[in-house]
């Protein structure tokens, strides 16, 4: 039960593609495909489809099949069953908000890269001991924000983070300038109200702003 170098390198390559990973919640496949195309056209090509709705896996599969030029992962992966179903749906990577023992065991053995979540130094160290050098930092704002992550650079130089939770266009640069942040996750680039209205041009414009941000 460990994180292999091959999958770590694959995850590193995925995260290097973008400064911002949209955190997406879809109620149906059709809107998922349309929103994903808008995000891609705005310059964001790595997407996290959260498993928060009954239609999430269907939407994820539809995006994988119908939207060219994007790398699609499954987010809010909470249990081993989610790992299996997300992989079957076509997810290229998996993200969890936390790191329970059962989930770590399943995720580390999955055929695609798995990025667990942490909110403390102890959790990050436990993952590092298992070979994980990338982790979601969640909920980023309540857990301490950029200052907290900055303090981890010296003691944990080989662990890199994707802060998510409370990240916005305004504060994303404060995270992205840090040595141990490779990208940020955020729902602001595809807010539910725009998805529900079918405002794909609005989502594309938000994606274009986010894609202009740069990681250090």
- SS3 state of residue 172: helix
| Contact (Cβ atoms closer than 8 angstroms) between residue 141 and residue 170 | no
Q: Does the annotation count 68 as an active-site position?
A: no
Which residue in this structure is represented by tokens 């593609």? 17
Sheet holding 117-118, edge to edge: 117-118, 134-137, 160-163
Q: Does the annotation count 136 as an active-site position?
A: yes
Torsion of CA 84, 87, 56, 1, to 10 degrees: 50
Catalytic choice (7, 37, 48, 204):
48
| Contact (Cβ atoms closer than 8 angstroms) between residue 122 and residue 40 | no
Residue 50, preceding bond cis, omega within 30 degrees? no
| Contact (Cβ atoms closer than 8 angstroms) between residue 107 and residue 78 | no
HSE (side-chain half, CA atoms, 13 Å) at 61:
9
- Beta partners for residue 23, in sequence order: 48
Catalytic choice (9, 136, 150, 177):
136
Question: Would you name the residues annotated as active-site residues?
Answer: 48, 136
């Amino acid at each position: 039960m460990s994180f292999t170098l091959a999958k770590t390198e694959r995850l590193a390559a995925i995260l290097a593609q973008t400064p911002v990973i949209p955190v997406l919640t879809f109620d149906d496949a059709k809107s998922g495909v349309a929103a994903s195309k808008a995000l891609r056209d705005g310059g964001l090509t790595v997407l996290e489809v959260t498993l928060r709705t009954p239609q999430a896996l269907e939407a994820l599969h539809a995006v994988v099949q119908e939207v060219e030029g994007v790398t699609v992962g499954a987010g809010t992966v909470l249990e081993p069953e989610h790992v299996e179903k997300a992989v079957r749906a076509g997810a290229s990577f998996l993200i969890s908000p936390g790191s329970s023992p059962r989930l770590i065991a399943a995720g580390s053995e999955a055929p695609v890269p798995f990025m667990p979540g942490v909110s403390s130094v102890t959790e990050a160290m436990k993952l590092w001991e298992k070979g994980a050098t990338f982790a979601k930092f969640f909920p980023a704002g309540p857990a301490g924000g950029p200052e907290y992550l900055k303090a981890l650079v010296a003691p944990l130089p080989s662990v890199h983070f994707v802060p998510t939770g409370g990240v916005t266009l305004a504060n994303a640069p404060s995270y992205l300038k840090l040595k141990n942040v490779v990208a940020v996750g955020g729902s602001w680039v595809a807010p539910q109200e725009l998805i529900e209205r079918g405002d794909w041009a609005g989502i594309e414009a938000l994606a274009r702003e986010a894609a202009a941000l740069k990681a250090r």
